[in-house]
Amino acid sequence: MGSGQTVAVYGAYGHTGRFVVARLRDRGFVPVLSGRDADKLKVLAYESGLEARPASVDDPASLDRALAGASAVINSAGPFATTAAPLIEAALRAGIPYVDVAAEIEANVDTFTHFTERARAAGAVVVPAMAFYGGLGDLLTTAAMGDWTTADEAHIAYGLSSWHPTAGTRAAGAVSRQRRDGRRVRFANGRLEYRHDEPPTLEWPFPDPMGPRAVIGEFTMADVVTVPSHLSIPEVRTYMTVEAARDLSAPDTPAPTPADDSGRSAQTFLVDVVVRSGGSERRAVARGQDIYAVTAPLVVEAVDRILTGRTRTTGVASAGEIFDAPDFLRALSPHLSLDLRP
Protein backbone atom coordinates (compact mmCIF):
# COMPACT_ATOMS: atom_id res chain seq x y z
CA MET A 1 0.00 0.00 0.00
CA GLY A 2 0.98 3.64 -0.38
CA SER A 3 1.93 4.17 3.29
CA GLY A 4 1.33 7.89 2.98
CA GLN A 5 3.72 8.43 0.08
CA THR A 6 3.01 11.52 -1.99
CA VAL A 7 2.21 11.14 -5.69
CA ALA A 8 1.78 14.17 -7.94
CA VAL A 9 -1.11 13.90 -10.40
CA TYR A 10 -0.87 16.24 -13.36
CA GLY A 11 -4.31 16.86 -14.85
CA ALA A 12 -5.90 15.85 -11.55
CA TYR A 13 -9.18 17.67 -12.27
CA GLY A 14 -9.77 15.92 -15.59
CA HIS A 15 -12.21 13.05 -16.06
CA THR A 16 -9.56 10.33 -15.76
CA GLY A 17 -7.49 12.35 -13.30
CA ARG A 18 -10.31 12.35 -10.76
CA PHE A 19 -10.52 8.56 -10.91
CA VAL A 20 -6.73 8.41 -10.44
CA VAL A 21 -6.83 10.70 -7.40
CA ALA A 22 -9.60 8.64 -5.80
CA ARG A 23 -7.76 5.37 -6.44
CA LEU A 24 -4.50 6.72 -5.02
CA ARG A 25 -6.31 7.63 -1.80
CA ASP A 26 -7.92 4.19 -1.67
CA ARG A 27 -4.44 2.65 -1.89
CA GLY A 28 -3.01 4.80 0.92
CA PHE A 29 -1.15 7.37 -1.18
CA VAL A 30 -1.43 11.13 -0.71
CA PRO A 31 -2.14 12.77 -4.08
CA VAL A 32 -0.81 16.25 -4.83
CA LEU A 33 -3.10 17.94 -7.32
CA SER A 34 -1.48 19.63 -10.29
CA GLY A 35 -2.34 20.90 -13.75
CA ARG A 36 -2.61 23.96 -15.90
CA ASP A 37 -5.96 25.34 -14.71
CA ALA A 38 -5.52 26.97 -11.30
CA ASP A 39 -9.25 27.58 -10.87
CA LYS A 40 -10.18 23.93 -11.45
CA LEU A 41 -7.40 22.85 -9.09
CA LYS A 42 -8.72 25.21 -6.42
CA VAL A 43 -12.19 23.68 -6.66
CA LEU A 44 -10.84 20.12 -6.49
CA ALA A 45 -8.58 21.01 -3.57
CA TYR A 46 -11.57 22.43 -1.69
CA GLU A 47 -13.65 19.32 -2.43
CA SER A 48 -10.91 16.85 -1.51
CA GLY A 49 -8.88 18.62 1.16
CA LEU A 50 -5.73 17.91 -0.84
CA GLU A 51 -2.88 20.26 -1.72
CA ALA A 52 -2.98 21.95 -5.13
CA ARG A 53 0.11 23.02 -7.05
CA PRO A 54 -0.68 24.72 -10.37
CA ALA A 55 1.97 24.19 -13.04
CA SER A 56 2.40 24.81 -16.74
CA VAL A 57 4.32 22.58 -19.13
CA ASP A 58 6.02 25.66 -20.59
CA ASP A 59 7.28 26.71 -17.13
CA PRO A 60 9.87 24.18 -15.87
CA ALA A 61 10.20 25.91 -12.49
CA SER A 62 6.48 25.46 -11.83
CA LEU A 63 6.74 21.77 -12.70
CA ASP A 64 9.66 21.41 -10.30
CA ARG A 65 7.55 22.97 -7.53
CA ALA A 66 4.67 20.64 -8.37
CA LEU A 67 6.88 17.56 -8.07
CA ALA A 68 8.86 18.68 -5.00
CA GLY A 69 8.82 15.97 -2.35
CA ALA A 70 6.73 13.57 -4.45
CA SER A 71 7.65 9.90 -4.74
CA ALA A 72 6.28 9.64 -8.29
CA VAL A 73 4.27 11.57 -10.85
CA ILE A 74 1.27 10.43 -12.88
CA ASN A 75 0.50 12.44 -15.99
CA SER A 76 -3.19 12.23 -16.90
CA ALA A 77 -3.34 15.46 -18.92
CA GLY A 78 -3.52 15.27 -22.67
CA PRO A 79 -2.75 16.02 -25.36
CA PHE A 80 0.38 14.12 -24.35
CA ALA A 81 2.18 15.42 -27.42
CA THR A 82 2.31 18.63 -25.37
CA THR A 83 2.57 17.42 -21.78
CA ALA A 84 4.62 14.20 -21.78
CA ALA A 85 8.11 15.50 -22.58
CA PRO A 86 8.08 18.44 -20.11
CA LEU A 87 6.74 16.20 -17.32
CA ILE A 88 9.33 13.50 -18.05
CA GLU A 89 12.07 16.12 -17.96
CA ALA A 90 10.75 17.36 -14.61
CA ALA A 91 10.60 13.80 -13.25
CA LEU A 92 14.19 13.18 -14.33
CA ARG A 93 15.28 16.38 -12.58
CA ALA A 94 13.41 15.30 -9.44
CA GLY A 95 14.74 11.73 -9.64
CA ILE A 96 11.28 10.16 -9.42
CA PRO A 97 9.34 7.69 -11.61
CA TYR A 98 7.06 9.01 -14.34
CA VAL A 99 3.92 7.18 -15.48
CA ASP A 100 1.31 8.44 -17.95
CA VAL A 101 -1.99 7.32 -19.45
CA ALA A 102 -1.29 8.43 -23.02
CA ALA A 103 -3.29 6.77 -25.77
CA GLU A 104 -1.66 8.91 -28.46
CA ILE A 105 0.44 6.71 -30.71
CA GLU A 106 2.87 9.40 -31.81
CA ALA A 107 3.32 10.77 -28.29
CA ASN A 108 4.23 7.31 -27.03
CA VAL A 109 6.67 6.84 -29.91
CA ASP A 110 8.25 10.17 -28.94
CA THR A 111 8.71 8.99 -25.34
CA PHE A 112 10.54 5.84 -26.41
CA THR A 113 12.57 7.69 -29.04
CA HIS A 114 13.69 10.67 -26.99
CA PHE A 115 14.05 9.30 -23.46
CA THR A 116 15.11 5.65 -23.66
CA GLU A 117 18.86 6.24 -23.41
CA ARG A 118 18.65 9.07 -20.87
CA ALA A 119 16.26 7.23 -18.58
CA ARG A 120 18.30 4.04 -18.68
CA ALA A 121 21.54 5.92 -17.98
CA ALA A 122 19.89 7.61 -14.99
CA GLY A 123 18.39 4.38 -13.70
CA ALA A 124 15.02 6.11 -13.95
CA VAL A 125 11.63 4.54 -14.62
CA VAL A 126 9.36 5.99 -17.33
CA VAL A 127 6.20 4.05 -18.19
CA PRO A 128 4.06 5.48 -21.00
CA ALA A 129 0.51 4.40 -21.92
CA MET A 130 -0.21 2.81 -18.54
CA ALA A 131 -3.93 2.88 -19.30
CA PHE A 132 -6.80 0.99 -20.89
CA TYR A 133 -5.30 1.59 -24.34
CA GLY A 134 -1.65 0.65 -24.55
CA GLY A 135 -1.21 -0.75 -21.05
CA LEU A 136 -3.99 -3.31 -20.69
CA GLY A 137 -3.56 -4.68 -24.20
CA ASP A 138 0.18 -5.00 -23.66
CA LEU A 139 -0.29 -6.84 -20.37
CA LEU A 140 -2.83 -9.23 -21.91
CA THR A 141 -0.62 -9.87 -24.94
CA THR A 142 2.41 -10.51 -22.74
CA ALA A 143 0.41 -12.87 -20.55
CA ALA A 144 -0.93 -14.71 -23.60
CA MET A 145 2.60 -15.15 -24.98
CA GLY A 146 3.56 -17.15 -21.89
CA ASP A 147 6.85 -18.91 -22.64
CA TRP A 148 6.91 -17.95 -26.33
CA THR A 149 9.83 -15.67 -27.19
CA THR A 150 8.43 -14.72 -30.60
CA ALA A 151 5.07 -14.85 -32.38
CA ASP A 152 3.86 -14.21 -35.91
CA GLU A 153 0.99 -11.89 -35.07
CA ALA A 154 -1.03 -10.37 -32.24
CA HIS A 155 -4.64 -9.24 -32.52
CA ILE A 156 -6.26 -7.02 -29.88
CA ALA A 157 -10.01 -6.61 -30.36
CA TYR A 158 -11.92 -4.02 -28.34
CA GLY A 159 -15.56 -4.82 -27.76
CA LEU A 160 -17.02 -1.62 -26.33
CA SER A 161 -20.76 -1.32 -25.73
CA SER A 162 -20.43 2.38 -26.55
CA TRP A 163 -17.79 5.11 -26.44
CA HIS A 164 -18.71 8.50 -25.04
CA PRO A 165 -15.39 10.34 -25.40
CA THR A 166 -14.14 12.90 -22.91
CA ALA A 167 -13.01 16.35 -24.00
CA GLY A 168 -9.45 15.14 -23.49
CA THR A 169 -9.97 12.19 -25.82
CA ARG A 170 -11.31 14.49 -28.53
CA ALA A 171 -8.43 16.95 -28.09
CA ALA A 172 -5.83 14.18 -28.24
CA GLY A 173 -7.47 12.71 -31.33
CA ALA A 174 -7.35 16.05 -33.08
CA VAL A 175 -3.63 16.38 -32.36
CA SER A 176 -2.95 12.86 -33.63
CA ARG A 177 -4.90 13.45 -36.86
CA GLN A 178 -2.95 16.63 -37.45
CA ARG A 179 0.37 14.90 -36.90
CA ARG A 180 -0.63 12.16 -39.35
CA ASP A 181 -1.89 14.62 -41.99
CA GLY A 182 -5.21 12.78 -41.94
CA ARG A 183 -3.67 9.39 -42.66
CA ARG A 184 -4.44 6.26 -40.69
CA VAL A 185 -1.73 4.12 -39.13
CA ARG A 186 -1.14 0.42 -38.61
CA PHE A 187 1.73 -1.78 -37.42
CA ALA A 188 2.80 -4.31 -40.05
CA ASN A 189 6.07 -5.85 -41.20
CA GLY A 190 7.67 -4.78 -37.94
CA ARG A 191 7.01 -1.04 -38.30
CA LEU A 192 4.38 1.67 -38.29
CA GLU A 193 2.82 2.29 -41.71
CA TYR A 194 0.83 5.40 -42.60
CA ARG A 195 -1.87 4.90 -45.19
CA HIS A 196 -4.52 6.87 -47.06
CA ASP A 197 -6.94 4.01 -47.71
CA GLU A 198 -9.98 3.15 -45.60
CA PRO A 199 -9.62 0.50 -42.87
CA PRO A 200 -11.41 -2.80 -43.46
CA THR A 201 -14.63 -3.85 -41.74
CA LEU A 202 -14.90 -7.47 -40.66
CA GLU A 203 -16.49 -9.73 -38.07
CA TRP A 204 -14.60 -10.58 -34.89
CA PRO A 205 -15.53 -13.73 -32.89
CA PHE A 206 -15.68 -12.21 -29.40
CA PRO A 207 -16.24 -14.77 -26.64
CA ASP A 208 -19.49 -14.86 -24.70
CA PRO A 209 -21.44 -12.94 -23.68
CA MET A 210 -20.66 -10.58 -26.56
CA GLY A 211 -20.33 -13.06 -29.42
CA PRO A 212 -19.42 -12.23 -33.04
CA ARG A 213 -19.57 -8.50 -33.79
CA ALA A 214 -18.73 -6.21 -36.69
CA VAL A 215 -15.45 -4.36 -36.07
CA ILE A 216 -13.29 -1.79 -37.78
CA GLY A 217 -10.08 -3.58 -38.63
CA GLU A 218 -6.79 -1.73 -38.13
CA PHE A 219 -8.51 0.72 -35.79
CA THR A 220 -5.08 1.37 -34.42
CA MET A 221 -4.49 2.16 -30.75
CA ALA A 222 -1.41 2.62 -28.54
CA ASP A 223 -0.85 -1.14 -28.30
CA VAL A 224 1.04 -0.95 -31.61
CA VAL A 225 3.72 1.00 -29.74
CA THR A 226 3.77 -0.78 -26.39
CA VAL A 227 3.60 -4.40 -27.57
CA PRO A 228 6.40 -4.26 -30.22
CA SER A 229 8.61 -2.25 -27.84
CA HIS A 230 9.52 -5.49 -26.07
CA LEU A 231 7.86 -8.44 -27.84
CA SER A 232 9.10 -9.90 -31.13
CA ILE A 233 5.82 -9.76 -33.05
CA PRO A 234 5.98 -8.21 -36.54
CA GLU A 235 2.21 -7.89 -37.00
CA VAL A 236 0.16 -6.18 -34.27
CA ARG A 237 -3.42 -5.32 -35.20
CA THR A 238 -6.17 -3.69 -33.12
CA TYR A 239 -9.90 -3.67 -33.79
CA MET A 240 -12.90 -1.69 -32.53
CA THR A 241 -16.59 -2.51 -32.52
CA VAL A 242 -18.35 -0.50 -35.21
CA GLU A 243 -20.83 1.09 -32.81
CA ALA A 244 -18.09 2.42 -30.55
CA ALA A 245 -16.10 3.75 -33.51
CA ARG A 246 -19.20 5.61 -34.70
CA ASP A 247 -19.72 7.10 -31.25
CA LEU A 248 -16.16 8.37 -31.21
CA SER A 249 -16.35 9.94 -34.67
CA ALA A 250 -19.75 11.61 -34.17
CA PRO A 251 -19.30 15.24 -33.07
CA ASP A 252 -22.49 15.21 -30.98
CA THR A 253 -21.76 12.12 -28.87
CA PRO A 254 -21.97 13.34 -25.25
CA ALA A 255 -19.25 12.89 -22.66
CA PRO A 256 -19.54 9.97 -20.23
CA THR A 257 -21.99 10.34 -17.35
CA PRO A 258 -21.92 8.56 -13.96
CA ALA A 259 -24.07 5.46 -13.56
CA ASP A 260 -22.98 4.42 -10.05
CA ASP A 261 -21.63 5.88 -6.82
CA SER A 262 -18.02 5.52 -7.96
CA GLY A 263 -18.64 7.76 -10.97
CA ARG A 264 -18.29 5.00 -13.55
CA SER A 265 -20.39 5.18 -16.69
CA ALA A 266 -22.61 2.30 -17.81
CA GLN A 267 -20.17 1.47 -20.64
CA THR A 268 -18.92 -2.12 -20.63
CA PHE A 269 -15.94 -3.56 -22.46
CA LEU A 270 -14.44 -6.87 -23.51
CA VAL A 271 -10.81 -6.98 -24.67
CA ASP A 272 -9.99 -10.12 -26.64
CA VAL A 273 -6.31 -10.81 -27.37
CA VAL A 274 -5.21 -13.55 -29.76
CA VAL A 275 -1.53 -14.35 -30.34
CA ARG A 276 -0.52 -16.74 -33.12
CA SER A 277 2.74 -18.54 -33.83
CA GLY A 278 2.92 -21.08 -36.62
CA GLY A 279 -0.21 -23.19 -36.26
CA SER A 280 -0.65 -22.44 -32.54
CA GLU A 281 -2.89 -19.83 -30.94
CA ARG A 282 -3.09 -18.38 -27.44
CA ARG A 283 -5.76 -16.10 -26.01
CA ALA A 284 -6.35 -13.70 -23.10
CA VAL A 285 -9.63 -11.92 -22.34
CA ALA A 286 -10.56 -9.09 -19.97
CA ARG A 287 -14.04 -7.78 -19.20
CA GLY A 288 -15.02 -4.72 -17.19
CA GLN A 289 -16.87 -1.43 -16.93
CA ASP A 290 -15.81 2.07 -18.07
CA ILE A 291 -12.54 2.38 -19.98
CA TYR A 292 -11.67 5.66 -18.26
CA ALA A 293 -12.39 4.44 -14.73
CA VAL A 294 -10.39 1.22 -15.16
CA THR A 295 -7.33 3.25 -16.13
CA ALA A 296 -7.06 4.38 -12.50
CA PRO A 297 -6.40 0.94 -10.95
CA LEU A 298 -4.01 0.20 -13.82
CA VAL A 299 -1.85 3.27 -13.33
CA VAL A 300 -1.98 3.23 -9.52
CA GLU A 301 -1.03 -0.46 -9.40
CA ALA A 302 1.91 0.45 -11.64
CA VAL A 303 3.06 3.22 -9.30
CA ASP A 304 2.73 0.95 -6.28
CA ARG A 305 4.84 -1.76 -7.93
CA ILE A 306 7.50 0.71 -9.04
CA LEU A 307 7.81 2.23 -5.58
CA THR A 308 8.00 -1.19 -3.91
CA GLY A 309 10.64 -2.49 -6.33
CA ARG A 310 8.43 -5.04 -8.11
CA THR A 311 9.84 -4.24 -11.54
CA ARG A 312 11.97 -6.03 -14.11
CA THR A 313 13.89 -3.19 -15.74
CA THR A 314 14.59 0.53 -15.73
CA GLY A 315 14.44 3.18 -18.41
CA VAL A 316 11.45 3.69 -20.69
CA ALA A 317 9.39 0.52 -20.59
CA SER A 318 5.85 -0.53 -21.34
CA ALA A 319 3.66 -2.35 -18.82
CA GLY A 320 4.32 -5.81 -20.20
CA GLU A 321 8.07 -5.37 -20.09
CA ILE A 322 8.51 -3.83 -16.66
CA PHE A 323 5.93 -5.87 -14.73
CA ASP A 324 5.08 -9.56 -14.29
CA ALA A 325 2.06 -9.42 -16.59
CA PRO A 326 -0.03 -12.32 -15.23
CA ASP A 327 0.59 -11.27 -11.63
CA PHE A 328 -0.24 -7.64 -12.41
CA LEU A 329 -3.48 -8.62 -14.13
CA ARG A 330 -4.52 -10.85 -11.25
CA ALA A 331 -4.05 -7.90 -8.90
CA LEU A 332 -6.73 -6.08 -10.90
CA SER A 333 -9.34 -8.80 -10.27
CA PRO A 334 -11.68 -6.47 -8.34
CA HIS A 335 -11.85 -4.29 -11.47
CA LEU A 336 -11.49 -6.84 -14.28
CA SER A 337 -12.85 -10.27 -15.04
CA LEU A 338 -9.99 -12.24 -16.61
CA ASP A 339 -9.52 -15.36 -18.68
CA LEU A 340 -5.82 -16.01 -19.18
CA ARG A 341 -5.03 -19.11 -21.22
CA PRO A 342 -1.38 -19.06 -22.36
Q: Could you read off the pLDDT of 228-250 as tens digits, one per residue?
A: 999 999 999 999 999 999 999 99
b/e map of 77-101 (b: 16 or more CB within 10 Å)?
A: bbbbbbbbbbbbbbbbebebbbbbb
Residues forming a β-bridge with 99: 74, 127
Mean per-residue pLDDT over the chain, rounded = 96
Give 3-state DSSP helix, strand, coil % of the chain, rounded to 5.
40, 25, 35
pLDDT tens, position by position, 208-230: 889 999 999 999 999 999 999 99
| Average pLDDT value for residue range 194-219 | 95
What is the rounded distance in angstroms from the CA atom of residue 281 to the CA atom of residue 146? 11
| Average pLDDT value for residue range 19-36 | 98
pTM of the predicted structure, to 2 decimals: 0.97
Maximum C-alpha span of the chain: 58
Q: Is 341 exposed, middle or buried (0-12, 13-18, 19+ CB in 10 A)?
A: exposed
What is the rounded distance in angstroms from the CA atom of residue 95 to the CA atom of residue 108? 21
Rounded to the nearest 10 degrees, the angle between the axes of helix 105-122 and helix 167-179 is 90
